[in-house]
Amino acid sequence: MINLLPPKEKSELLLVRQKKLVIILGSVFLIFSICLVFVFLSIYFFALGEASAQKIILQQNLKSYQAAGSNEYGQIIKKYNLILPKVSFFYESQKHFSEALSSIYEITRPAGIFFSGLNVDGTKQAGNIVSVSVSGISSTRDDLLAYEKNLKKDVRVRNVSFSPESWISSQNISFSVSFNFMVYEDKAR
């Protein structure tokens, strides 16, 4: 197609085309901007709604936490938190009687000595010392003397004291002995 219009009209047509192009591009940009604003507004209001919903849920959870039942549990927990350090201190300050018992049974006994009773008491003595009372039966006085000697050889045993009735008979002796025992001392003898 050949354009036979004079140059003045050609320039006017070009100008009109440019105006239409500017109007079309401007309106497309304006519509795009308006849509973008609506998208951002919808995102903003959605986030605002979610935040307020979470705030309401948080307030309801705080109310339920502060209800009477929850307060009771909180008081119970506080009470036990106060008791636990005392229990821990009590446990740490206690003497371990199982160590004393196993060490007492490790002391060599002659074959004729049999225990019938054993009492370990840590309340009367201070520090790492426990008071031990043993009663039993010995077949002979020699076995009892050997046991007394073994007790006195042990460095953890102190103040060995047999009852006077333990030495009266020479056979089938019911004996009773008491002594102090060091609980935490090194086991090397």
CATH number at residue 130: 3.30.1360
pTM of full prediction above 0.85: no
User: Is the model's pLDDT at 188 over the cut of 50?
Assistant: no
Average pLDDT value for residue range 138-154: 90
| 140 has pLDDT over 80 | yes
Alpha carbons 156 and 114: distance in angstroms, whole number: 21
Burial class (CB in 10 A: 0-12, 13-18, 19+), 180: middle
Q: In the predicted model, what is the mean pLDDT of the chain?
A: 84
Q: Is residue 189 part of a domain?
A: no
Residues 56 and 86 in one domain: yes
Distance between CA atoms of 135 and 161, rounded to whole angstroms?
Answer: 12
Task: Please give the residue range of the domain that contains residue 68.
Answer: 9-94
**Lowest-pLDDT choice from 22-31, 38-47, 86-95, 160-169:** 86-95
Residues in contact with 3: Cβ distance below 8 Å, sequence separation at least 6, in sequence order: 10
Percent of the chain with pLDDT over 70: 85
Could you tell me if 74 and 14 lie in one domain?
Answer: yes
For residues 61 and 109, state if they share a domain.
Answer: no
Q: What is the mean pLDDT of residues 148-156?
A: 88
Domain boundary among the residues 75, 94, 113 is at 94
Q: Is 159 left (phi over 0), alpha (psi -120 to 50) or beta?
A: left
Query: Residue 187: inside a domain, yes or no?
Result: no
Write the pLDDT tens digit of every residue in 55-75.
999 988 877 776 656 677 778
pLDDT digits (tens, 9 = 90+) for 5-44: 888 988 999 999 999 999 999 999 999 999 999 999 999 9
In a domain, 46, yes or no: yes
Q: Considering its fold, how many domains does the chain have in total?
A: 2
